[in-house]
Amino acid sequence: QVQLVESGGGSVQAGGSLRLSCSTSGYDYSNTCMGWFRQAPGADREGVSAVYDNGATTYYDDSVKGRFTISRDKVKNTLDLQMNSLKPEDTAMYYCAAALGSCWANGRPWYSERLYYYWGQGTQVTVSS
């Protein structure tokens, strides 16, 4: 049974940093895509970043480019998201997600929820001004 468990959320002031981590079990990392999504109150869930396989290929939403860094550790079975220069608009519930294949399949790009098969329960990030 595949399980994804996020951690590392919290409350910070604007300009601060947080590091989210997603611990996985029962998931085969080989040739697969994993991503981070977020959902603010009253908004749709949106793709933040994704990484394929060993991390050679990464994807970022324009809103976080240059501030967030995604990484994965196959030995530790973790997916991390380093978030720097946080802004109030980054406030959201952040979710870890895992796909069964690449970061683009069947017309579904990395930022499409429909690409991912497994989801974590989420971790809250709150950024105050």
pLDDT tens digit at each of 129 positions of the chain: 899 999 999 999 999 999 999 999 888 877 899 999 999 999 999 999 999 987 889 999 999 999 999 999 888 889 999 999 999 999 999 999 999 999 999 899 999 999 999 999 999 999 999
- DSSP-derived 3-state class of residue 88: helix
Residue with tokens 């709150």: 126
Burial 33-54 (b: 16+ CB within 10 A, else e): bbbbbbeeeeeebebbbbbbbe
Nearest to 94 by CA among 59, 121, 66: 121
Query: What would the two tokens of residue 10 be?
Result: 């919290």
Q: What amino acid is encoded at 37 in this protein?
A: F
Distance CA 25, CA 129 (A): 36
End-to-end CA gap in the chain: 41
Q: What does the pLDDT read at residue 30?
A: 79
Nearest to 32 by CA among 55, 49, 6: 55
Round the CA-based radius of gyration of the chain to a whole number and report it.
14
Q: What amino acid is encoded at 80 in this protein?
A: D
